[in-house]
Amino acid sequence: MKSPGVQAAGTSEVSARIEPRPSIVMRLVAYTTLLVGCLWLFSVGMGPAKKTAGGLSGKSDVLTIFVTSNELGTMNPCGCSGGQLGGFNRRGAVFKTAAKSARLILDAGGLIEGQSEQDLIKFNVIMRALGLLGYELVNLTRSDLETAQNLGLIEDVGWDFKIISAPGIVDVNVPATFSKRMTLKGKQVRVMIASFDARSDRTDRIAEFFGSASEEQSVKILILTGCKVDQVESFVEKVGFVDCVFCADSPERPQIIGDAGRRPLVVSVGKLGKYVGKLEIRPGKANGPLKLKFSAVPVVEDLPEDRELVELYRSYQQLVRGSGLMENQSRFGLPGGSRYMGSESCKTCHEYAYEKWKRQKHAHAYATLEEVGSDYDPECAVCHVVGMRYESGFVSPEKTPKLKDVGCEDCHGPSSEHVLSVGKEPTGEPKTACEDCHTPDNSVHYSGNEAEYFEKIVHWREPNTVGNVKVYKSTGGSKD
């Protein structure tokens, strides 16, 4: 799961204090050990990963290539609202709509977003998930390759899929091409896939990837990393011998770029796992060129879950909990030396507002994480507690229980000066705006319904309260 970090107001006044951290090598070794141990325990309990099916049986009328890309560490939607798309545990239901013998599943790369401790944990878990889902091919970007190399996951790992990567981006021995023979209406079709970095000037090498012409029917697919949607048109002119180009730069929903009827067919391949790209291959007329059709399949929340993927995610949650990521993260200092005091400190002077807040969902926000096992995941907790990214803010339910849940100081700011002066001094910065956490990913129905959402949290009768809180403009408050 991924949740956005809270954007602090008055950022220029907030100085960062970086805690001492172990070297990158030590962290990589430590997390590799943890990852291997966690995933070994999972494999003992669940059995070996599913093997991919062979591709020469059957007489299908259509071949299907499923493609995903840019996971960026998002394994599941956060679950904070209904209507959210995505999730490894539901993706398999999309793949099962095509017979094993007539499908190929590939990922075009972009598995994690950065190189943080949590990203390193996610990388191996995601690779494991792709194996369980029956992927046959994974393209690694520069960042993916560097992570895999540092974690020792390039050689002798035994994944259930092949790995390719654009040549020259990292000095490792990884092939740039993949091919598979499949059967379409009783005839063999060779699916050929190559990876290339659009930033390279060696476009002459692309033709070499696919070899010379033969009597065999084939579909040539180019995975283009470093691709920009607004620049892909000029690049496509150089690869007219390719049937389809997968552009890694993409909005969330996979889509066709340009004319759907041209050759090569150019598509963006999506991100965050909300959709699966679906390339269908059908026979042409009178032995003519094969027909290609591309569409985007949403991974909706009512699809059946895969038990093995559910258990894998639980293993990930336990690993995050055991790694102490939430307690050990770097924290920003607060302006003027102010501190978080907890919502109880507001009760004496604001009893009505406090009692009204206590009956609302914000006051029980942390419990929703405990119910799903994400209460020690910093990416989730940041929007369910007070001041987690700041000194004196939430650290853990054991160390800072008074700062659990979405409390007064989330919206009104740290209150130490206000409390110690008995209300003479205002609360400070940062103050969180509603949309910092109610993003399109986390709160699907919030945009366009801000006033309705705001009415659910009204807990005051003081007339000037709204103006002192960072709220959405439609409520009458201020975001400045």
What number does CATH give the domain 24-311? 3.60.21.10
Per-residue confidence (pLDDT) for residue 5, from 0 to 100? 35
Q: How far from 44 is each of 309, 319, 320, CA to CA, in Å?
A: 14, 16, 20
The H helix count followed by the E strand count for the chain is 15, 14
Distance, in Å, from the CA atom of 269 to the CA atom of 229, rounded to the nearest integer, reads: 11
Distance, in Å, from the CA atom of 231 to the CA atom of 448, rounded to the nearest integer, reads: 33
- CATH topology (fold) of 11-19+332-475: Flavocytochrome C3; Chain A, domain 2 (1.10.1130)
Distance, in Å, from the CA atom of 439 to the CA atom of 252, rounded to the nearest integer, reads: 14
Per-residue confidence (pLDDT) for residue 394, from 0 to 100? 98
Per-residue confidence (pLDDT) for residue 253, from 0 to 100? 94
290-322 per-position pLDDT tens digit: 999 999 999 999 999 999 999 999 999 999 999
Per-residue confidence (pLDDT) for residue 56, from 0 to 100? 38
CB atoms within 10 A of CB 140: 29
> What stretch(es) of the chain map to CATH 1.10.1130.10?
11-19+332-475
Answer for the pair 299, 95: CB distance below 8 angstroms, yes or no: no
Answer for the pair 139, 223: CB distance below 8 angstroms, yes or no: yes
81-120 per-position pLDDT tens digit: 999 999 999 999 999 999 999 999 999 999 999 999 999 9
Residue ranges, the chain, pLDDT below 50:
1-25, 40-58, 473-480
Answer for the pair 196, 225: CB distance below 8 angstroms, yes or no: yes
Per-residue confidence (pLDDT) for residue 24, from 0 to 100? 47
Per-residue confidence (pLDDT) for residue 376, from 0 to 100? 96
> What stretch(es) of the chain map to CATH 3.60.21.10?
24-311
Q: How far from 476 is each of 353, 433, 445, CA to CA, in Å?
A: 19, 13, 20
SS3 175: coil
Per-residue confidence (pLDDT) for residue 400, from 0 to 100? 97
